[in-house]
Structure 1
Amino acid sequence: MTNNIEWPKQKRGLIAILRGITPTEAAAVADVLIGEGFESLEVPLNSPDPFRSIEIIAMNHSNHALVGGGTILSIDHVDQVANAGGRLMVSPNMRPNVIKRANERGMVTMPGVLTPSEAFNALDAGASGLKFFPASIIGPQGISALMAVLPKGVIVGAVGGVGAGNMLDYNRAGVTTFGIGSAVYRPGDNASAVRIKARELVAAYDKTLC
């Protein structure tokens, strides 16, 4: 297994996926999420001007939160996120050269996997953690079966159809990290709306895992 960047120790394994956020919204939304207890923020690269949003969030929060990009599909994407101050690389798929480049840039990595082969190939490439995506396809039972063969201690995240109502089921399967998209932010949500949703998710996480 390649030397990798370890997933940082955090109080809560909650990643806010801010798909569609704009640079003018980024600071206020990030402030609210950090204030409510999120410690990881991901700006998918199919958002408007994502690198500027990452830069804004990283300038304010990189010293106490994991900030970076999602839907990272290429080495160029890795470099652009790193140059913007991002330290987190999240992808929907598993490409060893992308993981390797992110490691070289000192980034925490969570590539998307769905099968045992993808999971082990991602770990061999140096992934910090594994993102089961879309988690709704295999559900908690499928993830539980895969956990039986994965190395002990590997960080496993679930993304896609995950929210306050089913965190417990996924946690019982071995999931400790949850990527939350529309359940915490939809394009156009203001900071007040995000605060309400973030508070509910943090409470659910704390009830389930803490």
Structure 2
Amino acid sequence: MTGEVRRVALPSRTVASRLIVVARAERAEDYDPVLDVLLDAGIRSVELTLTTPGTFDRLPHLLAQYDAVADLGVGTVTNTTDLGRAIDAGARYVVTPVTSAAFVEQSTDAGVSIVPGGLTPTELFASWSAGASAVKIFPAGQVGPGYLKDLRGPFPDIEVVPSGGVDLAGAAEWLAAGAAAVSVGGPLLGDAFRGGDLAALRDRAQAFVEVCAR
């Protein structure tokens, strides 16, 4: 590879907060009350997953409602068609569970941040060297924060976002190990999308915001 790698930086609010909340709902109409609580608690970056039916249809409404306050990304992107739809719809960033130089190129050409997933050093370096905004260690619960310290040896400049099984204590440990941000789902959201206590959700969100701001 010759020349400088083209890379679109992660959105500023995501970088500043060091926390991405992965919102995986039963249906897209359920996003709003949960997002209201999350953003009120200080969350500034939310990944809306394509495993939630109706996400693309709901996205224009959600961007109009929340874009002034938080970065809304689209996650679980696994093909170029959905990647193009996410970009065209105005997603602030896209997240994919797989390693794909083609995805990175498509998103970078459009000026949109992309965080591809991977687990092995080869996968993570392939995405990073292709121009990914950051790389997602997934599933992070299978390796732990010490893995990032090991990666820093051969790849001192790589920007990493662990995802999968990151709880409150793990968030602090991953960030201390040098993660650019942590991606958190179940440990923060709990049963919020299944009719759970939204006051309890606010407390959990505030706890994660506080830990990630340290």
Q: TM-score range by the shorter chain?
A: 0.7 to 0.9
Deviations 1:94-116, CA, capped at 9 Å, x for gaps? 11111111112221111112122
Provide the C-alpha distance between the structure 2 equivalents of 1:74 and 1:140, rounded to a whole number of angstroms: 29
Cα distance change, pair 174–82 in 1 and its aligned pair in 2 (3 A)? same
5 Å matches for 1:48-87?
48-87=53-92
Question: Which deviates further from its counterpart, 192-201 or 90-99?
Answer: 192-201
Residues 100, 198 of structure 1: CA spacing in aligned structure 2 closer, same or farther, 3 A cutoff?
farther
Q: Per-residue deviation at 1:124?
A: 1.9
> Are 1:159 and 2:143 matched, yes or no?
no
When the two structures are superposed, what TM-score results if normalisation uses the length of structure 1?
0.88
Size of the aligned set, in residue pairs, is 208
**Counterparts of residues 1-210 of structure 1 (less than 5 Å):** 1-10=4-13, 11-152=16-157, 154-185=158-189, 186=191, 188-190=193-195, 193-207=197-211, 209-210=213-214
CA RMSD of aligned residues (A): 2.1
**Letter in structure 1 aligned against 2:6:** N
User: Contact 1:17–1:179 at 8 Å: present in 2 too?
Assistant: yes
Contact in 1 for aligned 2:47/2:75 (Cα 8 Å) = yes
In the alignment, structure 1 segments of 5+ residues that lack a partner are: none
- Secondary structure of 1:188's partner? helix
Q: Sequence identity, in percent?
A: 25
Residues 167 and 205 in structure 1, CA contact (< 8 A), matched pair in contact too: no
Q: Normalising to structure 2: TM-score of the pair? A: 0.86
Note closer, same or farther for the CA distance 1:204–1:40 as it changes in structure 2 (3 Å cut).
closer
